[in-house]
Chain A
Amino acid sequence: MSGQTFYKDELSAYLKRRSFLLRIGLITGGIFLNGCYKKMRSNRYNIPGTLQGPDAKAGHILRDKLKLPAAKSTRKVKTLIVGSGISGLSAGRWLKKNGETDFEILELENHTGGNSYYGSNKIASYPLGAHYITIANNDDALLIDFLKEIDVITHFEGQLPYYNDYYLTFDPEERLLINGEWQEGLIPDFGVPVADKKEIRRFLSEVDQLKNTRGNDGKFLFNIPLSSSSADENYRRLDKITFEAYLEEKGYRSKYLLWYLNYASKDDYGQKIKHISAWAGLHYFASRRGKAANAEQNAILTWPEGNGWIMKQLAGPLRDHIKTSSLCYDLKPMPNGNTLVTVFNTKTQLTENIEAEKIILCAPQFVNNRLLKNFNRNIDYKAFNYSPWLIANITINQLPESKGISLCWDNVAYNTPSVGYVNSAQQHLNLSEDKKVITYYLPLCDFEPAVARLAAYSRNYEQWLDIVIPELEIIHPGISKAIENIDFWVWGHGMIAPAKDFIWSENLAKAKLPVDDKIFFAHSDLSGVSIFEEAFHQGINAAKQVLNVTS
């Protein structure tokens, strides 16, 4: 299979690059040994289910540079958007809003959505990736306009937006299993020593202060979108150290606090505090200032299918512009100044050429790297690291009884590998449902992303069970008997990891620049933080640039 070639290429490149021969040998050897060992015990759990991920076949065609049939036809499109994740859809929305009709959105999967894709079964719809947004910062006019458009904001009461009652997360919202009991909220409290609590309070008040502080240029230190954050060097330099080093410097040692920060960092970036920059770590806590008429600050908005719901609102009006199963695999400059894009339809197996005046590439940079062989962006693609994730949607007939507060939307256990699970039925209105789907999120952050990704791709369904079930059994003893089905979903490149010296690096600044005023870029990896708001703004920015150039 093509997977094998990929594995060899990437691994050997990796070894040459770092010459950590021995170490990698040991790690990969370990993974394979581990794999064999686990395979022998594959009948331990009698739980049916599936193992899926983004369409690897289409992706591999690109990666392995397979020979595709020659193009039979050429047509013209004024603006071509490549990728239908949030950034691509947002770009499309902006073009349409501004009267553009001649544009097309190409998607290599057979569905739109990227990381906001979702699934469903007989019981419920559930997220497969991103699953919530927080209420908008009140100065984020573009986002607020959009949320009004899709009835997430129903009206204003005075200056404050009133959010749709059905989309604000229903109470009870969050619980943490710690010291044998489920406590309310995720900040460790139950059975936590006083000294640790004091340190946690110190950290929270520090970030609270940062949240409301502006830099020497008058902008908030941390804001959403990131590009509107202050350029104050005193704080930008926090991007040059790791979050771990920052915390150590500030004297934070409480294991409970560090657990909480590792959890938060894994939750938003898929990496622990030692692998993200201090600027990114603080951004998580200090960038959200949203106020609403009918909810607390930073309240969360969610839907049974997670961000799949917002994605559908974006994609719906663009229906006629979207072409799925369309793999864009080569871009060439044309003598007339346009760009010739070769597109392979994975359904019809036919290839066609599209001559585009402008292109917005809304794909992650590791994909762009392969698309732009004929162009020179002069950037280091290796600086872009993506955290791999495993998502497990678990159909369950009844959660075992446990001590403390009852099932919440977000359920996290102290000191476990995952970042917990969400109840996808939280926003259901019906009183009683005998079955529900819970969505479990496991960031694969124990090894460097490239290694973790290879290991993830090589695991089979039973091996994932062996990883997930023991943790679930610790959280809810006896749960395996209540599980009816598990659908695993592996995101090899789940989200951009904001490592130190990435977000404000020269490399990233260069990556945001258009090529020849013809090819523009929009993706959350160009912000360095994989959140809906960034993708949304990235899309609008790129669309604005296109409109500026053409007008």
Chain B
Amino acid sequence: MNKKLPALLLISVFVVATCGLIYELIAGTLASYLLGDSVTQFSTIIGVYLFSMGIGSWVSKYFEKNILSWFIQIEILVGLVGGFSSTVLFLVFESIASFRIVLYGFVSLTGILVGLEIPLLMRILKDRYEFKDLVSKVFTFDYIGALLASLIFPLLLIPHLGLVKTAYLFGMLNVAVALIVCLNFKKEIRASKYLQGASFISIIALLAGFIYADKITSFSESQTYSDTIIYSKSTPYQRIILTKKNKVLRLFLNGNLQFSSDDEYRYHEALVHPGLQALPFAKHVLVMGGGDGLAVREILKYPNVDSVTLVDLDKGMTGLFQSNKILLGLNKNALLSPKVKVINADAFSWVKAQRKKFDFIVIDFPDPSNYAVGKLYTNAFYKLVKGILAPKGLMVIQSTSPFVAPKSFWTVNKTLESVGLKTIPYHNYVPSFGEWGYIMATEPDNVYKKPQQYLPGLKFISKESLDLMLYFPKDMGKVETDVNKLNNQILVKYFEDEWANVL
């Protein structure tokens, strides 16, 4: 036997080392993508990974017979676990509660297997080569491999292949090492044929994963959230994401921020109280949209209100805010109140079929960013809503930002006026959203009397703050626009143009 280490073997060491570090980097990157806070994620992943490698090294002494065959099997296993790791993590991310367990489980498993590799390899080679030379060369190539991995990972692999494909690629390389070792030492291995077959099948499986990687998952979503995602769900209508950072909860629908728990009171107090406080006789209230129950929470503060009807399209949304503990804390169990009736229906058709009148109507729809939602901001829709508004009643509409999107805001105003309603536009500052606008509307004969006092315990709204809210400085002043109709949908176009400059 030759005393010098063959280049092939050194390349194997090199590949094994590179793969090991790549898996660690993938886990770290993925964790910071999905969970946010990259310092914490990388730090804990690296810690767990190195510790697991230590376990692997320690466990290696319990392997006594057939070390060569064990080594090959472990190589195949590392390749499979490492290769499929990122895919599995992406797929189980949906069930967020158990995600960390799966993540650290994978990191530990990969770490243990990688920890086994070098000690076993050295034991295989120790009788064949000079020990001094062996240690020197194996560790040299081990560390060079690590350097290479740390350089190509951010510079080449992530930008060109992405996480999932990188994992599969290195999985294949790992199994290739197993195959090469298997072929080189086939006389010394009993089940050489079986191991060759296993390697071959594994490579095919990993190759399939590599080819279909794009179909398995896309990453864009997770990259957009900087906070920890604590809940995510796709309903038939939208993607709901709830994030948490320190004590602050944020709700995103299709990637758009709906509220942030630290300042949502500013939005919901402004939406509800200027109107409802001015209607001491109000008994029946309708809320359309607003499946989070936060507007309902404010409405239920009025003892004169007998019933609240909430119409929200998405059962997934109202269900979440009727069952999740953190969210029930936020909306004070509003959607579980016996006064509240939750209806999951399309608002347009629901209003069209509705005969009962309401004293106060809150319209809290998502922004008019597409033609489907745009229908709910048209004169046709407002005509219908006007039909179910009690003669002395008021309605209020969230109307996007008069600062960022003045044309959009004043289009809503104009559209309400076009169906014969008198409007009272106002605005306030909500840190998460910026300057935000609302429009109250009522029959032209009614006179809106500004409330002289408000319920105790409100954090934002007061007699003085409303005076400011009703005043529009020049930079948000009224602009002339058209009426938004089903057959022109100009609001969607304005909204797109105006927000395109900001986002």
> What is the distance, in angstroms, from A410's C-beta to the closest C-beta of chain B?
13
Whether B489 contacts A172 by the Cβ 8 Å rule is yes
Whether B348 contacts A165 by the Cβ 8 Å rule is no
Residues on A with C-beta less than 8 A from B349 are 429-430
The answer, yes or no, to whether A45 is at the interface (CB within 8 Å) is no
Q: Among residues 67 to 105 in chain B, which have CB atoms less than 8 Å away from a CB atom of chain A?
A: none
B345 (CB) vs chain A CBs: closest residue: A430
The answer, yes or no, to whether B486 is at the interface (CB within 8 Å) is yes
Q: Among residues 137 to 182 in chain A, which have CB atoms less than 8 Å away from a CB atom of chain B?
A: 165-166, 168-173
Bound-state CA distance A434–B380 (Å) is 24
Q: A166-B380, A169-B487, A294-B485 are in contact. Are A431 and B373 (CB under 8 A)?
A: yes
Residues on B with C-beta less than 8 A from A165 are 378-380, 383, 485-487
> Interface digits, A270-307 against B, CB 8 Å rule (1 contact, 0 not)?
00000000000000000000000011000100000000
Whether B379 contacts A170 by the Cβ 8 Å rule is no
Most A CB contacts (10 A, CB to CB) among B370, B372, B378, B383 go to B372
Residues on A with C-beta less than 8 A from B486 are 165-166, 168, 170-171
Residues on B with C-beta less than 8 A from A172 are 371, 489
> What is the distance, in angstroms, from B50's C-beta to the closest C-beta of chain A?
43
The answer, yes or no, to whether A406 is at the interface (CB within 8 Å) is yes
> What is the distance, in angstroms, from B239's C-beta to the closest C-beta of chain A?
13
The answer, yes or no, to whether B328 is at the interface (CB within 8 Å) is no
The answer, yes or no, to whether B472 is at the interface (CB within 8 Å) is no
B372 (CB) vs chain A CBs: closest residue: A431
B381 (CB) vs chain A CBs: closest residue: A429
Q: A166-B486, A170-B487, A171-B486 are in contact. Are A429 and B379 (CB under 8 A)?
A: no
The answer, yes or no, to whether A432 is at the interface (CB within 8 Å) is yes
The answer, yes or no, to whether B390 is at the interface (CB within 8 Å) is no
The answer, yes or no, to whether B301 is at the interface (CB within 8 Å) is no
Bound-state CA distance A168–B486 (Å) is 8
Bound-state CA distance A432–B488 (Å) is 19
Whether A168 contacts B489 by the Cβ 8 Å rule is no
> What is the distance, in angstroms, from A400's C-beta to the closest C-beta of chain B?
14
> What is the distance, in angstroms, from B350's C-beta to the closest C-beta of chain A?
10
Residues on B with C-beta less than 8 A from A432 are 236-237, 313, 346, 372
Whether B489 contacts A171 by the Cβ 8 Å rule is yes
B313, B380, B383, B489: the one contacting A431 at CB < 8 Å is B313
B348 (CB) vs chain A CBs: closest residue: A429
Residues on A with C-beta less than 8 A from B347 are 431
Residues on B with C-beta less than 8 A from A166 are 380, 486
> What is the distance, in angstroms, from B172's C-beta to the closest C-beta of chain A?
29
Whether B371 contacts A429 by the Cβ 8 Å rule is no
Whether A430 contacts B348 by the Cβ 8 Å rule is yes
> What is the distance, in angstroms, from A267's C-beta to the closest C-beta of chain B?
20
Bound-state CA distance A429–B372 (Å) is 8
The answer, yes or no, to whether B352 is at the interface (CB within 8 Å) is yes
The answer, yes or no, to whether B268 is at the interface (CB within 8 Å) is no
The answer, yes or no, to whether B375 is at the interface (CB within 8 Å) is yes
Most B CB contacts (10 A, CB to CB) among A166, A170, A406, A434 go to A170
Bound-state CA distance A268–B380 (Å) is 31
Whether A295 contacts B487 by the Cβ 8 Å rule is yes
Whether B375 contacts A431 by the Cβ 8 Å rule is yes
Bound-state CA distance A165–B380 (Å) is 6
> What is the distance, in angstroms, from A123's C-beta to the closest C-beta of chain B?
15
Bound-state CA distance A220–B429 (Å) is 59
Whether A429 contacts B485 by the Cβ 8 Å rule is no
Residues on B with C-beta less than 8 A from A170 are 371, 375, 486-487, 489
> What is the distance, in angstroms, from A182's C-beta to the closest C-beta of chain B?
14
Whether B371 contacts A171 by the Cβ 8 Å rule is yes
Whether A429 contacts B487 by the Cβ 8 Å rule is no
Bound-state CA distance A406–B371 (Å) is 9
Residues on B with C-beta less than 8 A from A294 are 485, 487
Bound-state CA distance A267–B203 (Å) is 55
Q: A169-B487, A171-B489 are in contact. Are A429 and B375 (CB under 8 A)?
A: yes
B366 (CB) vs chain A CBs: closest residue: A431
A405 (CB) vs chain B CBs: closest residue: B371
Residues on A with C-beta less than 8 A from B375 are 170, 429, 431
B237 (CB) vs chain A CBs: closest residue: A432
B380 (CB) vs chain A CBs: closest residue: A165
A299, A406, A430: the one contacting B487 at CB < 8 Å is A299
Bound-state CA distance A406–B372 (Å) is 11
Bound-state CA distance A173–B489 (Å) is 10
B375 (CB) vs chain A CBs: closest residue: A429
B371 (CB) vs chain A CBs: closest residue: A172
A171, A406, A434: the one contacting B488 at CB < 8 Å is A171
Residues on A with C-beta less than 8 A from B380 are 165-166
Q: Among residues 468 to 503 in chain B, which have CB atoms less than 8 Å away from a CB atom of chain A?
A: 485-489, 492
> Interface digits, B324-350 against A, CB 8 Å rule (1 contact, 0 not)?
000000000000000000000011110
Residues on A with C-beta less than 8 A from B346 are 429-432
Whether A434 contacts B487 by the Cβ 8 Å rule is no
Bound-state CA distance A165–B352 (Å) is 13
Whether A171 contacts B348 by the Cβ 8 Å rule is no
Bound-state CA distance A165–B384 (Å) is 12
Bound-state CA distance A170–B486 (Å) is 5
Q: Among residues 356 to 394 in chain B, which have CB atoms less than 8 Å away from a CB atom of chain A?
A: 370-373, 375-376, 378-380, 383
Whether A171 contacts B487 by the Cβ 8 Å rule is yes
Residues on A with C-beta less than 8 A from B237 are 431-432
Bound-state CA distance A338–B176 (Å) is 96
> What is the distance, in angstroms, from A191's C-beta to the closest C-beta of chain B?
22
Residues on B with C-beta less than 8 A from A171 are 371, 485-489, 492
Whether A434 contacts B372 by the Cβ 8 Å rule is no
> What is the distance, in angstroms, from A230's C-beta to the closest C-beta of chain B?
32
Bound-state CA distance A165–B419 (Å) is 12
Bound-state CA distance A173–B488 (Å) is 9
> Interface digits, B213-240 against A, CB 8 Å rule (1 contact, 0 not)?
0000000000000000000000011000
Bound-state CA distance A168–B483 (Å) is 15
> What is the distance, in angstroms, from B496's C-beta to the closest C-beta of chain A?
11
Residues on B with C-beta less than 8 A from A406 are 370-371
Residues on A with C-beta less than 8 A from B352 are 429
> What is the distance, in angstroms, from B292's C-beta to the closest C-beta of chain A?
18
| 15 sampled A-B residue pairs with Cβ under 8 A | A165-B380, A165-B487, A168-B485, A171-B485, A171-B487, A171-B489, A173-B487, A429-B349, A429-B352, A431-B313, A431-B347, A431-B348, A432-B237, A432-B313, A432-B346
Which residues does B use to contact A, with CB under 8 Å? 236-237, 313, 346-349, 352, 370-373, 375-376, 378-380, 383, 485-489, 492
The 3 closest A-B pairs by CB, nearest first: A171-B489, A429-B348, A168-B487
Which residues does A use to contact B, with CB under 8 Å? 165-166, 168-173, 294-295, 299, 406, 429-432, 434
A-B contacts besides A165-B380, A430-B348, 19 pairs, CB < 8 Å: A166-B486, A168-B485, A168-B487, A170-B486, A170-B487, A171-B485, A171-B487, A171-B488, A171-B489, A172-B489, A173-B487, A294-B487, A406-B370, A406-B371, A429-B346, A430-B349, A431-B348, A431-B372, A434-B236
